[in-house]
Structure formats: structure tokens, C-alpha cells
Amino acid sequence: MTEQNRLENWLNQALELETRGYDFYSQAARAASNSQVRDFFQYLADQELVHIKVIKDIYQKLDGAVCWNEGGQSQVSKSELDALFLKMTQNGPSADADLMKAIDNGIAFETEVRTLYSQQIDQAGCEGEKKFLQLMVGEETFHCQALADLKLYYTDPVGWAEQMDHGHLDGA
């Protein structure tokens, strides 16, 4: 397989997965009965759109070259997700089976996408490609952690509070 074909192949896989992620998170947002949960899933859907745009931009820039400029990538904003979590905690934890299934499916999806990007790092043809892949691994890891935090929030609110605040509820 030529370098150009390798790049096109993994970019097509990435585009397919990111599109699938957008569809999944958009559906989860529409199905959410809680507005804060809806906002959380919509935020993740919007992030998938950013990834789709970046991948399409890279694909268009290939034009026979095997590498690209490092510009154009986005970084997930932790403060935006923190604000969404803060809104969710104001109503207290309450999740139905559909929400928990959506969270688990999201974690599985983000893990799959992160694995795709991770596997490509060693095959990167240039430093720009490698940096892009590392950035995407970081973003997908962040999405996965945000979903894991949401799951912990709904399944063990005390444990979630201890983990987020690094404190304990023992009165000391």
C-alpha cells in the first residue's frame, strides 16, 4: 500500500467514525429528557462536527502530498464541559436506563475512535501527521473521560464528588 493510499484509508475510516459519532450524539441529545444532559450530548455532537471538518480539510490538502500543515486543529475546551457538569449537578443525579446505555455506548465509541488514531501514530509519514494523530488521541481520551465522569456522577454521586473535589465526606 502506498503512503497516499494509507493516508486516504485511515482518513476515510476516521471520517466514517466521526460521522457516526455525530449521528449518535445528536440522537442522544434529542432523546435526553433532561436539558443539561441534552446540552452535554449536543456539545459532544458539535465536537464531532469539528473533527469532521478538520479531517475533510486535511483530505483536501493532500493533493498527492503525503503530509499537511499542522494548522486547523481544534482543542476541546475542558471549561465548557465543566460548566455543563456544574449545571447537571444543580438538579441532582437521576438517570434512566436509556441514558446509562447512551453513556456506555459513547464510551465504547470514543474508545474505538481513540484506538484508530493511536494505531496510526507509529505509521505517521511526517511530524504534522503525528502531531495531528496525537491531538486526536487526546481529544478522544478527553471525550471518553467526560463520559466516564458522567457515568460516575449518575451511579455514585458521592464518589464522583470525592473524585472531582479530591475531598472526602468524612467530616475531617
CATH number of 3-161: 1.20.1260.10
Q: Grid coordinates representing 45?
A: 455532537
pLDDT at 70: 47
Tens digits of residue pLDDT in 60-114: 776 545 455 444 445 555 666 666 666 666 666 666 778 888 889 999 999 999 9
pLDDT at 172: 47
- The domain locations on the chain are 3-161
CA distances from 146 to 46, 69, 140 (A): 15, 29, 10
Angle between helices 35-62 and 78-89 (to 10 degrees): 160
3-state secondary structure of 6: helix
